[in-house]
Chains A and B, each alone.
Chain A
Amino acid sequence: MGKTLLEMKNITKEFPGVKALDNVNLVVEEGEIHALVGENGAGKSTLMNVLSGIYPYGSYTGDIIYDGEVCQFQKIKDSEEKGIVIIHQELALIPYMSIGENMFLGNEQGSKAAIDWNKTFNLADKYLKMVGLSESSRTLIKDIGVGKQQMVEIAKALAKNARLLILDEPTSSLNESDSKALLDLLLKFKQEGMTSIIISHKLNEVSYVADKITVIRDGSTIETLDKTKDDISEDRIIKGMVGREMTDRFPKRHDVKIGDVAMEVKNWTVYHPQFTERKVVDDVSINVRKGEVVGIAGLMGAGRTELAMSIFGKAYGSNITGQLILDGKEVKLKNIKDAIKHRIAYVTEDRKGNGLVLTNPIKINTTLSNLSELCTKRVIDQDKEYQVAEDYRDKLKTKCPTVEQNVGNLSGGNQQKVLLAKWMFANPDVLILDEPTRGIDVGAKYEIYCIINDLVAAGKSVIMISSELPEVLGMSDRIYVMNEGKIVGEMAGAEASQESIMSCILKS
């Protein structure tokens, strides 16, 4: 056993009215990869914010013992000086600056009077090599993909002489191959003696890299599993997280009759809105039947979101060609309003960015896409609106004190439910769900799956775009595989496997 690098003892942190952390203990040994898992809101990020000094000493109780001494961090700089570097879930890079500039932001190289740019870029190149990137450090951030941006974040952490690297959901926006590369990099660093703490929802990744797994539930530590001693299978971890055995992560659908084709797209081609010569969706033909869940699998950037949005009343793209057939009749949709009128709904992948109005209450969000139904001569019936919002709150079991609450104050899972409610209220026949469970915890995911099942049981059609293969496999009646704008495979849900989907992508 290695020596203990970090020990967090009896950490308690209170926010007004809420005990976010309650006597949490965490022991991390030097040279290990330690995973922190737990449902959303369990307190993982809070714990890491205590560690990195975002919540200064004194705002919590308990001790942080790092490298044998008790630390009292007042600000992030204090913890970074000790070599504790945190990489946050949301990328914090500036798109129109070069990699090198980003990497040394706040850590500028050179004399007091001027930045030494040659030194900056040379050093940056060195760190880029360490994370396996061949890009020049003078490349602008906007010109590299998300996967590489995440690597730059890690290189940036290395440049701060990190000894303890904390990664908060590092792969949440990465595709499978980029995620794999990142995890392998962590394993390589481990060989070189680096200690890492990784927070993740993706349990297969946790099982893959972690030496130890600490489970946090409702602000307390439940258990720490050791790879060498304990069972660390996904089911075992989930049991710790939710406090019960999850026999089935995907609820069964009973007696859902699959009917006629509800929506069909033929020879659908879409070009990029700015670079109009670039094809984003290339000759795609798909269909979905009544009562059917169709999954669209594929890597990030495969053109799935673009396909969905272009079908949804040309919300994306230019020079869109192809046929859209609804209930056997070809239709031309001029705009989004038209699409909603034809009973199509697109539930966006980015609920905060373009799904919800975070500063507005739940009820306003719920009714936004179909407000005219509540209006007589443009005047909103606000009592009816309140009733509608309440109905959906009950139906979807959204946890909130009142529907007057701002959506921004809800957890991710509950926000997702509000987003679904919004589109269910528009009363669509075809729902396109784009990453419906991104960034939400296991329990909330299960509830979202149940909602999807209820939708198809009511005869609706669901197209589910997802980057999480188990989810696509667990939920879909039929699966399309998409890669580089083309459909490269179609298979029945029951026959598909992770391998068969990946091989479709790789062989295309």
Chain B
Amino acid sequence: MKDKIFNIIKENTMLIVLVLVVLFFNITTKGVMLQPSQFNALITQNAYVYVLATGMLMCMLTGGNIDLSCGSFVCLVGIIGAKVMVNMGAPTIVGILVMLLVGVIYGCILGYVIAYINIPPWIATLAGFLALRGWGVALLKGSSNISPLPPEFCSLFSGKMNDLFGGPRIGGVQYNMTSIVVALIASIIVVVLIFRERSVKLKKGYDADSMVAVIVKSVLICFVIMLFGYKFSLAGGIPYSLVWVAVIVIIYSFITSKTDIGRYFYTIGGNAEATRLSGIDTKRIMFIAYLNMAILTVVSTFLTMSRFQAANSTAGTNYEMDAISACVVGGVSAYGGSGTVFGMIVGATLIGVINLGMSLMGIDANWQKVVKGVVLLGAVVFEILNNKKKGVK
């Protein structure tokens, strides 16, 4: 029993750290941290990180490979999209398709260079890092941004879900019923899935978590979902950016844990040659990793530019670092072969919470960077030491 609890703590260290950090900031900010507007800020400000880090996770799994160019690509794609939608007056859907097309083209080039010409990823993407932002800014021809973007584009990615049920207004506070209903539905789905998995396992005679563990897990997850639902109902509704993030995260979580192609990302990171000799086209997987990264970068661009309602020359600065940090803090191995979408979410959230909390406390921006650097290093050191202990026979 004692061992079991110890193991649970060990496997969920970052999650526990996250909870502690939230509580810490809640105390130091005298409750501001847990106000509805902060929940909203946490999601909208960090939506791009979740999406980019998902792509980065797939790259890192293949052997610690990274994409340094994604931040610059956010800038370039944004400017191209803005030119199409604002300067040329094309409909929003055309703008979105053009941007995705640019993403596919860049992804194919990057994937080809890395997978089939064998250029080390950090060099290939360093070239992109330098070139793409330069190109984007050059397209601006001296102005610093293109704005405003079409309102329908902005509301599609950064708007809030309307209240379909006309929620009550109690004590001068408007409740958004839709958020609560969505959260309830999500909770029910999660609980059903958890219990179904357990019963399937038991039916086939495999080890399954005890009933108590399953109930505790369900209650905790539902609590978090309902907490978000409640806070969003007070903050004017669920932001659409959260919907996009949730969809992407769920899809990739499924791919990495349940599909054969997801499995290959891990085995390539673990031993590329063994994977090749098992009849798997490792080059194709590398190609897919970078094509996928470019497409997710475009999605991330949608979220970013709609939030600022403009495409500007500094958009995407350091985004590649944010994505890498989120993965690494979330326990994704810097050498490849291990890491999960869930871990990445925890890592990204932890960094987001630290950012938000320090801003609320009024800590100088430069010191914030220092803290983030220390957290990043600490997380990696912790991961390596933890693995070392596991390695002892």
A interface list, Cβ under 8 A from B: 15-18, 312-313, 315, 335-337, 339-340, 346, 348, 353-360, 364, 368-369, 371-372, 375, 378-380, 382-383, 386, 409, 422, 426
Within the complex, the shortest CB–CB distance from A343 to chain B, in Å, comes to 12
- What would be 21 A-B contacts, judged by CB atoms less than 8 Å apart? A17-B393, A336-B277, A337-B279, A353-B273, A353-B274, A354-B271, A354-B274, A354-B277, A355-B274, A357-B267, A359-B337, A364-B266, A364-B267, A368-B267, A368-B280, A369-B278, A369-B279, A371-B263, A375-B259, A380-B259, A383-B206
Q: How far is the CA of A358 from the CA of B266 in the complex (A)?
A: 11
What residues of chain A lie closer than 8 Å to B260, measured between beta carbons?
A: 371-372, 375, 378-380
What residues of chain A lie closer than 8 Å to B276, measured between beta carbons?
A: 315, 336, 354
> Are B280 and A357 closer than 8 Å at their CB atoms?
no
> Are B392 and A380 closer than 8 Å at their CB atoms?
no
Known: A357-B271, A358-B271, A368-B263. 17 other contacts (CB 8 A): A15-B392, A336-B277, A336-B278, A340-B278, A353-B274, A354-B271, A354-B273, A356-B274, A364-B266, A371-B263, A375-B259, A378-B260, A379-B258, A380-B259, A380-B263, A383-B200, A383-B201
What residues of chain A lie closer than 8 Å to B261, measured between beta carbons?
A: 378
Neighbour of A360 across the interface among B259, B281, B337, CB < 8 A? B337
Q: How far is the CA of A357 from the CA of B335 in the complex (A)?
A: 13
Neighbour of A18 across the interface among B259, B277, B338, B393, CB < 8 A? B393
Count of B residues near A, CB < 8 Å? Answer: 27
Closest B residue, CB atoms, query A309: B277
Within the complex, the shortest CB–CB distance from B25 to chain A, in Å, comes to 36
Neighbour of A357 across the interface among B201, B270, B391, CB < 8 A? B270
Closest A residue, CB atoms, query B272: A354
What residues of chain B lie closer than 8 Å to A353, measured between beta carbons?
A: 273-274
Closest B residue, CB atoms, query A18: B393
Within the complex, the shortest CB–CB distance from B385 to chain A, in Å, comes to 16
Q: How far is the CA of A371 from the CA of B393 in the complex (A)?
A: 30
Interface residues of B in 246-273 (CB under 8 A from A): 258-261, 263, 266-267, 270-271, 273
Q: How far is the CA of A128 from the CA of B176 in the complex (A)?
A: 83
Within the complex, the shortest CB–CB distance from B163 to chain A, in Å, comes to 37
Closest B residue, CB atoms, query A346: B277
Q: How far is the CA of A17 from the CA of B393 in the complex (A)?
A: 8
Does B155 count as interface, using CB distance less than 8 angstroms?
no
Q: How far is the CA of A313 from the CA of B279 in the complex (A)?
A: 9
Q: How far is the CA of A335 from the CA of B338 in the complex (A)?
A: 28
Neighbour of A382 across the interface among B258, B270, B271, B274, CB < 8 A? B258
Interface string of B115-135 (1 = CB under 8 A from A): 000000000000000000000
Q: How far is the CA of A312 from the CA of B271 in the complex (A)?
A: 19
What residues of chain A lie closer than 8 Å to B278, measured between beta carbons?
A: 336, 340, 368-369, 422
Q: How far is the CA of A360 from the CA of B271 in the complex (A)?
A: 9
Closest A residue, CB atoms, query B338: A359
Within the complex, the shortest CB–CB distance from B211 to chain A, in Å, comes to 20
Does B275 count as interface, using CB distance less than 8 angstroms?
yes
Also in contact, A359 and B270, with CB within 8 A (given A15-B393, A371-B263, A375-B260): yes
What residues of chain A lie closer than 8 Å to B270, measured between beta carbons?
A: 357-360
Q: Which of A17, A355, A360 has its CB near the most chain B CB atoms (within 10 A)?
A: A360
> Are B271 and A356 closer than 8 Å at their CB atoms?
yes
Q: How far is the CA of A133 from the CA of B271 in the complex (A)?
A: 36
